[in-house]
Amino acid sequence: MSALIFVDTPVHLYSKDARDTAKQIRANEWLTWCWTRRTGRISTQVLNEFYNNAITRFGKAVTVEKAREQVRMLRLWQPPHLDRYTVDGAWVMQDRYKLGYWDALIMSSAQQQACQYLLSEDMPHLQSYDTVQVINPFLMAPAEFEALK
């Protein structure tokens, strides 16, 4: 089985955002790659952030109904519910690495799902946090990632 990859909210948002076609193409390339290999993981935090940003960031381009439909589709990734272990882990990550709480919660969610990688542009590219390494999906394509492993 391939390495598990946690996909941060902005990657999902860029996949729907036609305002930056280069990032949209790359985000979709990564999402397709993760989906076809069944290696992508998300959390309920990602679902909620996606929904909120989709209905506020895209204005009339994305209706509430369309955003809800997209969240329903993302549920196919079967995100686990937020539990006390994830929250406690986020506090540890927040203190150890001086991360903001929301980034620490994403990192803890990735760890709780045994992900080795986190696709995110919000943290330093190739930086490791305990057992999870950050990959900026806009600096590295899936093919380059394959060569990295």
Q: Which residues contact 102 (CB under 8 A, 6 or more apart)?
A: 45
Q: What's the whole-number mean pLDDT along residues 116-130?
A: 96
Helices and strands (DSSP H and E) totals, the chain: 7, 5
Mean pLDDT estimate for the chain? 94
d(CA 144, CA 149): 9
DSSP 18: T
Point out which residues pair with 41 in neighbouring strands: 6
Q: Which two tokens stand for residue 96?
A: 């150890």
Q: What's the whole-number mean pLDDT along residues 132-142?
A: 97
Q: What's the whole-number mean pLDDT along residues 53-71?
A: 87
